[in-house]
Structure 1
Amino acid sequence: MSAASEKGRIWRLAGAYVWQQALRWMHGGPLYRLSPQTGSPARLLIAPQDLRTADQTNAADIYGGNFLFSGHLVETRGASPFELEGEDLDWQRDLHGFGWLRDLRAADNRISRQNSRALVDDWLKHCGRWHPVGWEASVTTRRVMSWLAHSPFILEDGDHEFYNRFLRSISRQVRYLRRTINETHDGVERLQASIAIAAACISMSGQGRFARQSIRRLDQELKRQILTDGGHVSRNPWAMIEILADLLPVRQAFVVQGLELPEAMLQSVDRMMPMMRFFRHGDGALAHFNGMGSTPNDLVATIMAYDDARGAPPLNVPHTGYQRLGGGASVVIMDTGKPPPLSVGVDAHAGCLSFEFSSGLHRIVVNCGVSGRSNEMWRRVSRSTAAHSTAVVEDTSSCRFLNEKPFGRWLGTPIVSGPNTVLVQRDDDDAMGVRVAASHDGYKAQFGLIHTRDMRLSADGTVLDGIDSLSEDARGTERGEEYAIRFHLHPSIKASMLHSGTAVLLMCRDGEAWEFDAPGSELVLEESIYLSDVYGHRKTMQIALYGRIRESQSAAWQFRRTATAKLGRRASSEFDDLMQTGNLPFDEPDFEDDIDLDGSDTELDAVVKSED
Structure 2
Amino acid sequence: MLAKASRLFHTLWPLKLIQHWGLFYYRVVRRLLPFKPTTTKATKVDFVTSNFHVYQPQGWKGRLEFEFLNRAAKLNAETWQAEEQSLLWHYNLHYFDHLNAKNNEHTVEDEAELLLLWWQFHKPLQGIAWDPYPSSLRAVNLCKWGWRHNRDFEFIPHDTWLAILDRHYQEIKRKLEYHIQANHLFANLKALWFLQAALPEYRAKDGKWLNKKVVRELGVQFDTHGGHFELSPMYHRIMLWDLLDMLALGKQVPDFKEVSVQIKEVASNALTWASALSHPDKEVAFFNDGAIGIAPSWQDLKGYAKQLKAVYEGYENAEYSGYVVQTVNKAKLICDVAEVGPTFQPGHAHADTLSFELSLGLQRVIVNSGTSEYGVNEERLRQRSTAAHNTVVFENRNSSDVWSGFRVGRQAQIINKKVHLSCTESNIEATHNGYKPALHHRKWTLSPCQLVVKDSWLGRQATAEKKSYLHFHPNVKLTKENEFSYVLEWSTGKAKLSIAAKDANVTIEDSTWHPGFGKVIKNKKLVLTYHNPKSEILINWDAKDGC
The answer to whether TM tops 0.5 is yes
Q: Is the 8 A contact 2:336 2:352 kept in 1?
A: yes
The one-letter code matched in structure 1 to 2:346 is G
Structure 2 stretches lacking a partner, 5+ long: none
Does the 8 Å contact 1:489/1:542 carry over to 2? yes
What secondary structure, in the 3-state scheme, does the structure 1 residue paired with 2:200 have? coil
Q: Is the 8 A contact 2:9 2:409 kept in 1?
A: no
Deviation of 1:277 (Å): 0.9
Equivalent of residue 553 in structure 1, options 518, 533, 536: 533
What secondary structure sits across from 2:539 in the alignment? strand
Question: CA, structure 1 residues 80+45, in 2 after alignment: closer, same or farther (shift >3 Å)?
Answer: farther
What is the Cα deviation at residue 208 of structure 1?
A: 1.9
Question: Residues 43, 252 of structure 1: CA spacing in aligned structure 2 closer, same or farther, 3 A cutoff?
Answer: closer
Cα contact 2:357–2:366 (8 A) shared by 1: yes
Answer whether contact 1:222 1:268 (CA < 8 A) is retained: yes
Instruction: Specify the alignment match of 2:62 in structure 1.
Output: 62
* 2:467–2:530 contact (8 Å) kept in structure 1: yes
Q: What whole-Å deviation, never above 9, does each CA across 1:445-502 have from its counterpart, x for those lacking one? A: xxx21111111111xx31111211122x246xxx86311111111111111012x333
**Cross-structure match for 1:506:** 488
Q: Which residue of 2 aligns with 1:608?
A: none
Which has the higher Rg, Structure 1 or Structure 2? 1
Distance in 2, matches of 1:130 and 1:295, equals 32
Q: Pick from 191, 206, 223: which aligns with 2:219?
A: 223
Does structure 2 conserve the Cα–Cα contact (< 8 Å) formed by 1:47 and 1:150?
no
Question: 1:98 offset after TM fit, Å?
Answer: 1.1
Report what 2:23 is aligned to. 17
Query: Is 1:45 the equivalent of 2:59?
Result: no
Q: Distance in 1 between the 2:385 and 2:288 partners?
A: 11
CA contact (8 A) 1:116 1:154 kept: no
Higher RCO, 1 vs 2 (CA within 8 Å, ≥6 residues apart): 2
Report sequence identity in percent.
18
SS at match of 1:470: strand
Counterpart for residue 450 of structure 1? 439
Which residue is 1:401 aligned to? 402
**What letter corresponds to residue 509 of structure 1 in structure 2?**
S
Contact 1:370/1:382, CA 8 A, preserved across alignment? yes
Query: What letter is aligned with 1:438?
Result: A
Structure 2 counterparts to residues 114-263 of structure 1, below 5 A: 114-152=109-147, 154-155=149-150, 158-159=153-154, 162-183=157-178, 185-206=180-201, 207-258=203-254, 259-262=256-259, 263=261
Matched, 1:497 2:519: no
Q: TM-score, normalised by structure 2?
A: 0.88
Q: Give the counterpart letter for 2:452 in structure 1.
A: D
Q: Is the 8 A contact 1:28 1:130 kept in 2?
A: no
Deviation at 1:541, TM superposition (A): 1.0
Partner in structure 2 of residue 277 of structure 1: 275
Structure 1 residues 462 and 399: CA distance shift in structure 2, 3 A: same
Closer, same or farther: CA 331–83 of 1 in aligned 2, 3 Å: closer
The residue type equivalent to 1:435 in the other structure is N
User: Counterparts in 2 of 1:378-393, with a 5 A limit?
Assistant: 378-393=379-394
Deviation at 1:174, TM superposition (A): 1.2
Aligned partner of residue 234 in structure 1, secondary structure: coil
CA deviation profile, 1:71-96 (whole Å, cap 9, x unmatched): 5544358x466488996433332222
1:520-561 CA distance string (max 9 Å, x none): 45433222211225771111112222212xxx2101221101
Q: What corresponds to 2:412 in structure 1?
A: 419
Deviations 1:411-459 (A, max 9, x none): x54212122343110123455x111111111111xxx21111111111x
Question: Given that residues 371 and 532 in structure 1 are in contact (C-alpha distance below 8 angstroms), is that contact kept between their aligned partners in structure 2?
Answer: yes
Report if the CA contact (8 A) 1:275-1:314 is conserved: no
Query: Structure 1 residues 218 and 15, CA, compared in 2 at 3 Å: closer, same or farther?
Result: closer
Number of residues paired by the alignment? 530
Q: Is 1:436 aligned to 2:428, yes or no?
A: yes
Q: Which amino acid aligns with 1:128?
A: K
* TM-score (normalizing by structure 1): 0.79
Whole-Å separation in 1 of the counterparts to 2:176 and 2:507 = 51
Task: Give me the CA root mean square deviation.
Answer: 3.0
Matched with 2:354 is 353
CA–CA distance in structure 1, aligned partners of residues 232 and 460 of structure 2? 32
Query: SS of the residue aligned with 2:350?
Result: coil
